[in-house]
Structure formats: C-alpha cells, structure tokens
Structure 1
Amino acid sequence: MHPAFSVVFFTTATGAGYGLLALLGLLGGLGVIPADFWLGVVGMSLALGLVVAGLLSSTGHLGRPERAWRAFSQWRSSWLSREGVASVATFIPASMFGIGWVFLGRSGGWVAVAGLLAAAGAVTTVCTTGMIYASLKPIAQWHSRYTLPAYLIFATMTGSVLANALLQGFKLSSTAMLIWALLATLAGWSWKLATWRHNDRLEIPTTANTATGLAGGTVRSIEWPHTEENYLLKEMGFRIARKHSAKLRRITQALAFAAPAILLAIALLLPWPLGAIASVLAALAQLAGMLVERWLFFAEAKHTVTLYYGRE
C-alpha cells in the first residue's frame, strides 16, 4: 500500500494522544496524579493537540476533504465512520474532565466519572481505528489477529512514555510510571517482532488461478489492462525493496523500542533533572520511530487487487 504521510502521521499522533488521554483521565480522575494546574494544562493540551492534529491530517488523504462530514452517517456499517463518531464523542467527557481536573483542581466524584468516560472513549476510538485495517480481507498482512492488539499496545506504549516524560518534567517523578512505560515499550517491541514474523511467513492463498477459477493450469497476464499507472496501482500496488524494508525495520527497532527502553532504564537510576531529560528523549525517539513503523505498516501491505496487473 502507498504510505501517504497524512495517514502515517494520523495513526501515530492519535495513538499517542489517546493513550496519554486515557492515562490522564484514569489516573488524574482518581487522584493518583495530582490536580496541578500547569501539569493539567500541558498534559491535556499535549493529548488533545496530538489527537486534533492527527484527525485533521487524515483529511489530507481524502479526495474531497470538504465532504469528510458525510462519513459520520455510515456508522452502522463502516469502521471509518465509527471512528469519527467515537473520536468526536470522546471530546465531551474529556472536556468535562479537563474543566474539573485542570481549572477546578478537583479529582474524584464527577471528575473521576468524566475521566473514566474519557479513557473509555479513547480506548474505543483506538479500537475502531485498528478495526479499519483489521477488517480488510483483501490485505492479508492486516486481516490478522495481530492488527487490533497492535493499535492498543502501541497507544498504551506511546501514551505511557509521554505521561512519564510529563511527570518527570514537572518533578513528579514516579517509579511506578517509569517501570510501566518501560514494560509497555518492551511489550510493543515483542508484539512488533511477532507481527513481522507472522507476515513474513504468510502464504496468501489468492492467486491469478484462484481469482479466475482456472485452477487447472497457470494463469498469467500477457499485457497490462491499461498503458499507464492509475489510482489503484499508486495506492495499492506500492512495492518496497526487501533491503530497504530490512533497513527500515532496524531503524524502527532502534528508535521506537531499543533507545526508549535504554533511556527509561537510565532514567530509573538518575536524579532529577537528568532523569527528566532522559525521559523526554525517550518520548521523542519513540514518536520518531513510530512514524517509521507506521510507514512500514502501509508499505509492506499487499492488496490482492494487484493480481489484476500481473503481480503475485
């Protein structure tokens, strides 16, 4: 698949934003994270800013962005529409939580309820995003048991690393959050390796023979359906060289998982502000690495429509 940067940025930014929002809603609402004004302002601005930036960037991949609002009407059958509805609905409890926790300095009671609802909305939205891709049967690399959990694990991972950097930056060092961010990063790394291993071993059953029903011989295309590249080939026939894929996988592992894990482990041993600097660097490295990981997620996916153009 063609890895459009607007969609790559969208999946990276919204995953991190919703992950951070879920943690703030849960821990802030229950009083685990103190109701500090500037902590709340920066934290909620970062979470909602990432979400809004991601959602706005996703419209850049639409042919007619001004008609994006029509997608909300298909929520009965479309995961894309359900994602839009869930993302907008989440802003209601998130706004209520932000008012109570940030501006009123309160936790517990209705603020806790709003925070829990915001966290639930964030998780629901991430699930709908994952299902957009997991539900696509023509793309075997996405239509697997690995896709939806990956979205949830990566949102938890990036949200946790951001939350840790936020707390460290405000001198509210939390060993528990540091360890949780480290464990989430290791879990994301393990899941990504398992996903790559699964995709590399995939044997896609659909071929030109099965597509035409002519299983008795070998079906091949003697000429292209048309003389120049069209929308289908541009969007769904993208091909990446094996050596480039291997190199980008190494970059993904280094930036998204290895470097953050090492920096978080170092932060456990360092006093403030050195621990805070290591935590912020871990968050920045991970976000950069996840952009590469998302690019690969699209680039390595193969749509069966390419069989029509003689590509196995």
Structure 2
Amino acid sequence: MHPAPSVILFTTLSGLGFGLLAFLGLGKPAVTGWVAFVFYAIAFGFAVGGLLASTFHLGRPERAWRAFTQWKTSWLSREGICAVSALIVMGLFAFGAVFLDTHWWVLGWIGAALSLATVFTTSMIYTQLKTIPRWNMSLTPVMFLSFSLAGGSLLAGAEALAPWLLAIAGSVQLAYWAKGDQAFASSGTNIGTATGLGDRGTVRAFEPPHTGSNYLLREFVHVVGRKHAQKLRVIAFALGFALPLICLILPVEGLMAKHLLAGIAVLLHIAGIAVSRWLFFAQAEHVVGLYYGKR
C-alpha cells in the first residue's frame, strides 16, 4: 500500500502516547505537581496528536464522528470509543496528580487498561483485513502492543523495564518481518483463485485491465524493492531498538549524562518506529495487485 504520512504519524505517535499514559496510570512514575504536568502534557500531546493526524487520511474528516456509531461491527469505531474513554479517565487522573497532589489509583488502573485497549483496537483495524496477508496474522497486535509498551517505558523513564521491553519489541519486529515475508504465499491466494479460473489450469494475465491509473493502484499497489526494504529494516531495527538499548545499558556516571542518553534513546526510538511504520504500510501486499501483475 502507498504509505500516507498521516497514518504513519498516527500509528507512531498514538502508540507512544497511550503507552506513556498506561505507565502513568500504573504509577510509573508516580509524579505529582508540575513534574506530573510535563509527563501528562507529553503523553496527551502524542496521543491526541496521533489521533488528529489520522483524520487527515479521511475523505471527509468532518464526518469522523460517525465512526463512533458502528461499534458493534467496526474496529475503527471501537478504537475511537476506547481512545476517548482513555483520554477522559486519564484526564481526571492527571487532574488529581497535577492540581491536588493525589492519585486516584482506581481511575489510573482503568485508564491504563483503556490506553492499552486503544492500541489493541488500532492494531485490529489492520489485522482483520484478509485481503492483506502480511497484516492478517496474530503477530500484528503483538507488535503494536510491544512497541507501545517499549516506547511508553522509555518516555516514563522506567529504567528497569525499558531495556527488557525494548528487547522484546525488537524480537517481535524481527519475527513479524520473517513471518510477513511468507504471508502472501502462505495465504494460497494467486491469480487463479482471484479470478476463479484456477481449476482450469495455469492462469496468467494477458495484459493489464486498463492502461491508466486508478484509485486501487494509487492506494493499494505499492512495490518496494527488496534491497531497499532490507536497508530500511536495518535502519528501523538499529534506530528503534538496538541503539536505544545500548544507550540505556551504557555504564555512565552522573545524573546529567544518564538523562542525556535517555533523551537520545527516546529520539532514536521514535525515528526507528517511524521507519518501521513506513515499511508496515509500504510492504502490505493487497491481493488486488494480482489483477495488475504486481504480485
């Protein structure tokens, strides 16, 4: 698929924001006052910024509110409900921490659960699509959640948890790439099954359905060169997981040096996740590409 900047920003920023909100709801760190204000400002900034970015991919952004009405059948609707609920609950929790120097832990736990539920529902928007085999597998929600927790732990300054969560998220990323590369072939979908003519012998396209471009080609057919993709994977893994992990485990003296390395780790991780998200969309082979000889 052609990766739109809006969905890359959405999946990158919202995952980080809701990951940090989940940690704050669990009291990691249990901050109050102006320190809490800074943490919550960052968390809400990422979460809300990502959600707003997602609306720019809609044909009619002003109608986004209608998505809330289809919660029985739509993962997009469930995502919207979970996101708004998480922001409201964590907003109340933040109010207590910032202005009253207190923590209403029941609200925090509920908000943390809703924040992770938001990330899960986001992942299911893509996981449910059988027409894109690379997304239609159980590792997709695992990847979204592991990325969110790893990024949230970095932003929360959870020194004990962050290295482990980064290692787990990096392992999930490698597993996702390995399994995703085989997903289209394993799905059993080919031009024969797509046309319904496979039982008559080998099917091949005589010529493309038409000579001009169309919506399907613009949105759902995007071919990334193998060498190009491999280079981007190395960059994504190095920036998103390997280098941040090194920054966290380096033996340094002084609080200032530790904070500096932690800040660098956060920036590297965000850059790496953005590259990973670009690949997530760019390498998503839609089965409609079979009709155009692209698969």
Aligned to 2:26: 26
Whichever residue aligns with residue 153 of structure 2, its letter is S
Instruction: Tell me whether 1:195 sits opposite 2:176 in the alignment.
Output: yes
Supply the distance in 2 between the matched residues of 1:115 and 1:101 (Cα, whole angstroms): 10
Aligned to 1:48: 44
SS in 1 for 2:27: helix
Residue 182 of structure 1 deviates from its aligned partner by 0.7
Supply the distance in 2 between the matched residues of 1:275 and 1:310 (Cα, whole angstroms): 53
Supply the distance in 2 between the matched residues of 1:9 and 1:34 (Cα, whole angstroms): 28
Q: 1:195-219 CA deviation, whole Å, 9 max, x = no partner?
A: 1111223323111111222223221
Give ranges in structure 1 of 5+ residues lacking alignment.
165-176
Supply the distance in 2 between the matched residues of 1:270 and 1:229 (Cα, whole angstroms): 59
Task: Output the TM-score relative to the length of structure 1.
Answer: 0.91
Task: Output the TM-score relative to the length of structure 2.
Answer: 0.96
Count the aligned residue pairs: 292
Query: Which residue among 245, 251, 268 is the counterpart of 2:235?
Result: 251
Contact 2:32–2:102 at 8 Å: present in 1 too?
A: no
Contact 2:17–2:42 at 8 Å: present in 1 too?
A: yes
Instruction: Tell me whether 1:183 sits opposite 2:164 in the alignment.
Output: yes
Residue 27 of structure 1 deviates from its aligned partner by 1.1
Matched-pair identity in %: 46
Supply the distance in 2 between the matched residues of 1:34 and 1:193 (Cα, whole angstroms): 33
Consecutive aligned runs of 4 or more in structure 1 exceeding 4 Å deviation: none
Moved more, 127-136 or 217-226: 217-226
Moved more, 55-64 or 192-201: 192-201
Supply the distance in 2 between the matched residues of 1:301 and 1:249 (Cα, whole angstroms): 14
Contact 2:151–2:269 at 8 Å: present in 1 too?
A: yes
Instruction: Tell me whether 1:308 sits opposite 2:267 in the alignment.
Output: no
Give ranges in structure 2 of 5+ residues lacking alignment.
none
Supply the distance in 2 between the matched residues of 1:36 and 1:67 (Cα, whole angstroms): 38
Residue 163 of structure 1 deviates from its aligned partner by 0.8
Whichever residue aligns with residue 121 of structure 2, its letter is T
Aligned to 1:169: none
Aligned to 1:233: 217
Whichever residue aligns with residue 191 of structure 1, its letter is V
Aligned to 1:140: 133
Supply the distance in 2 between the matched residues of 1:39 and 1:88 (Cα, whole angstroms): 24
